[in-house]
Every structure is written in C-alpha cells, then in structure tokens.
Structure 1
Amino acid sequence: MKKYSLYLTLFLAVLLVACSDDDADLNVAINPDNGGPISEIPSDPERVDYELFSVNDSGVSGIAAFIPNDDGSATVYIELENATQDIHPARIHFGSIEESGSVAISLNDCECKISETVVTRLDNGAAITFVQLMQFDGHLNINMSSSDNTVVANTNIGANAF
C-alpha cells in the first residue's frame, strides 16, 4: 500500500512542477523501480473509482479515485479530462445528484486538472472513514470556477453509486 502512495505522490509532484496545456504531459511520471515512465496511476485493488460525467455541455469528464489509507482515512484523487487549466472547485455533497444536497466535504480544488485530498472529517467536523465513504449517501461535483458554481462534471458516490 505504501508503494502505491509513493507512486501517487511522485506522480502529483511531477504534475505540479510541470503543469502545462499539453494533456499528454499530465499522464507521465517516473517509475522509481526502473526509471521508465508510468502512463497511469498504479492499480490498487482496494481503491474505488467513480467516473465523472460531463454536465451542462461542458465536455469535462474524468475519474475520482477513493483510495484507503493505512489509518482508515481516504485519499480522494481526481483527474479531469477536457478541462481548462483554471482552478475547479471539487465538493462532495449530501444526497444523490438528483437530490442536489448541501456540501458535506470540501475537497482541494482541481489545479492543472488534478486534485488530491486526504479525507478524515466532514465539513461539520464529524469524523468519516474510507469504509463510511463507501456507504455515504452523496455525490461529487466539479464546478467551473471559484466565482462560477456551474457544475461541469459530477458522479454519485457511496451508496448512490450502486
């Protein structure tokens, strides 16, 4: 598990330093085992991936990976496709997409089409674990910008995804 966390950390470090408009650059990191490139996030059989669907004719899609951590918390990793290089707020809301509930967890904004947040608590301070997130009655929204709350991509998560 720690090996995958190292790969993910290295992947994000390369992206933050080399953020550009070229989508091909977003999927390249260095594999420390053989020095070669990694074309995607290493697979972890315990992670749960949710496909982000385009909303409001934005063309933005992507993936939200919920990855369990050794301490029981979860890392939420988001990678957007067809998004601008702008800052895109990411939030987990209560209820399904159709119910459009209030914000439950404010995630780190997507910068250079990427976001990574370790989740241990809801915004109201209540503790939440990876297992509880897998049962959570919620959905994830990606917004256009900090000043424009138009949803550009979303997905149901937890109990609503099944």
Structure 2
Amino acid sequence: MRYFLTSLSLALLVFTMGCSNSEDADVNNPNNPNPDAGIPNDPERVDYDLLTVNNSGVTGVASFIPNEDGSTTIYIKLENASQGIHPATVNFGTLEEGGSIAITLNECECEISETVVTQLDNGTAISFVGMMTFDGHLNIYESPTDGTVIAQANIGANAF
C-alpha cells in the first residue's frame, strides 16, 4: 500500500507540475551537481544505460529497484527526448534478436516513467530476482502512434 501511495503522489506531482524545466526541480536543473537526483536511491538498484536508436539522440537510464514485497519498480529517465509521451516496453530476447512484448510499462511523460512490476503481461508472476535473470531488453518508442524505437537496452541476463 505504501508503494501505491508513493507512486500516486509522484504521478500527481508530475501531472500538476507539467513538463516545465523549472530551476527549482533538481532533475531538470543543469547546474545540479547530482543529475540523477530524481532517481530513487537504493543500494540494490540496478541501472541500465539506454542507448540511442534510429539517430534519435535519446539516451537515459532505466533503474530496476527492488521493493520489500519482491516486486520491482522500473524507473526510466530519458535524456534529449521530446516532451511528448513515449511508450516503453520490456521485450523478450536480446536487442539483436528482438522479441515480443513481455511487460507494457507506464509511458514516459516529461521524460520520466515509473512502473511497479509484479507480473508479465500474460499474468506470469515475476519478482526482482526474476527480473535480474530475465532474458529481455527494454524499448522506448517515439510516440503512441509511431512505433519507432528511439532508445533501448539489454536487461537482466542479457546485460552482462
């Protein structure tokens, strides 16, 4: 319940603040000595660097953060993306092989997305440990109507 309330509070904060680049918001402040200030700090989190695809120039980081109940919070922060909405998915297989969608994540709005994952889209339960050994990759798309991949990363077993 605590994670639901935290996620709801974060979503409301993002919604009410919009996509402005406020000088007061550490995540958007280029003078901030800690550019990852918006990413939750957890000593067990695993970060995956998002690589630009299709000459988009979009990069970023996807942080997989373990929760007390065994679920995983996937926090995505994009760099150089338009302020639009960018769908995100976890897919089966490596970047090189490709694969179908395993988990549909919350869309990146204002370059940020946060999703608590407890199962695959097909209903199969998956824990943080399962995510760390998952045979998959993460895709970020141009928009809800344009399925062009703009950033991606191998995750889980494929990242190492």
Deviation by residue 1:61-83 (Cα, 9 ceiling, x = unmatched): 11100000110010101011111
Mapped to 1, the partners of 2:150 and 2:22 lie a distance apart of 18
| Equivalent residue number for residue 74 of structure 2 | 76
Alignment of 1:1-162 (within 5 A): 13-22=12-21, 27-28=26-27, 39-162=37-160
- After superposition, the CA RMSD in angstroms is 2.7
C-alpha deviation, 1:23, in angstroms: 7.5
> Secondary structure in 1 aligned to 2:106?
strand
Mapped to 1, the partners of 2:22 and 2:62 lie a distance apart of 18
Structure 1 residues 8 and 147: CA distance shift in structure 2, 3 A: closer
Structure 1 residues 117 and 8: CA distance shift in structure 2, 3 A: closer
Structure 1 residues 158 and 52: CA distance shift in structure 2, 3 A: same
| Equivalent residue number for residue 33 of structure 2 | none
Q: What is the TM-score normalised by the length of structure 1?
A: 0.83
Q: Which runs of 5+ in 1 are unaligned?
A: 30-37
Deviation by residue 1:33-77 (Cα, 9 ceiling, x = unmatched): xxxxx9443421110011111110101111100000110010101
Structure 1 residues 144 and 12: CA distance shift in structure 2, 3 A: same
C-alpha deviation, 1:97, in angstroms: 0.3
Structure 1 residues 95 and 6: CA distance shift in structure 2, 3 A: same
Q: Which runs of 5+ in 2 are unaligned?
A: 29-35
Structure 1 residues 85 and 140: CA distance shift in structure 2, 3 A: same
Do the aligned partners of 2:39 and 2:75 also contact (CA within 8 Å) in 1?
no
Identity %: 58
